Amino acid sequence: MKELMDNTKERMGKCITALENELNTIRAGRADPRVLDRITVEYYGTETPVNQMASISVAEARILVVTPYDATSLKSIEKAIQASDLGINPTNDGRCLRIVFPQLTEERRKELSKLVSKNCEDGKVAVRNVRRDALDKLKAKKKANEITEDDQKDGEKNIQKLTDKFIEEIDKVGAAKEKEIMSI
């Protein structure tokens, strides 16, 4: 029983981590190196993440500086960033790329806020799927007479409490990201 609860808690925790990683890639008008985490570049025949090919630093509040370890990869990194869904154009000075994040318009902020809400809802669905799997395992154990009916009921209550806790955590993470997006 404890093993099932620990497994459920771990899987729900992974749902939160995945959501946080997804939300970190949404740009909020400020320079954040994590927005480049999803961008990959063809490098010697292999798709390689930009953060493994270059040092990424925040020069000012809204400027990222990307300095490739291999100067020959500068053009390909620039093209990958331009082709991404970030909607930003890096400036190439021959040695590094400067990415200036423009202020977000009110309309763009609302779009990003909707995207955050959608990602949070996806996270909640993932947590509920973990809950469903755990409840199914409980029912299977009851059917196999490994646990009593009281143990099953207690397990269901504990799993629901865990689910509620993680759903609340998703709401907190989403609210914090929306606040970040909506602040000017």
Q: How confident is the model at residue 46 (pLDDT cuts 50, 70, 90)?
A: confident
CATH fold of 33-100: Gyrase A; domain 2 (3.30.1360)
Task: Report whether pLDDT(27) > 70.
Answer: no
Q: Where are the domains of the chain?
A: 2-24+105-182, 33-100
For residue range 77-130, list pLDDT tens digits in order.
888 888 887 777 888 888 898 988 777 788 888 888 898 999 999 999 999 999
**Domain 2-24+105-182 class in CATH:** mainly alpha
Q: Would you state the structure tokens that stand for residue 57, as one six-digit string?
A: 């630093």
Q: Quick one: pLDDT at residue 166?
A: 94
The amino acid that residue 26 corresponds to is I
The rounded distance, in Å, linking the Cα atoms of 5 and 13 is: 12
Q: Indicate the pTM of the whole model.
A: 0.71
Helix (H, G, I), strand (E, B) or coil at 56: strand
The rounded distance, in Å, linking the Cα atoms of 64 and 80 is: 15
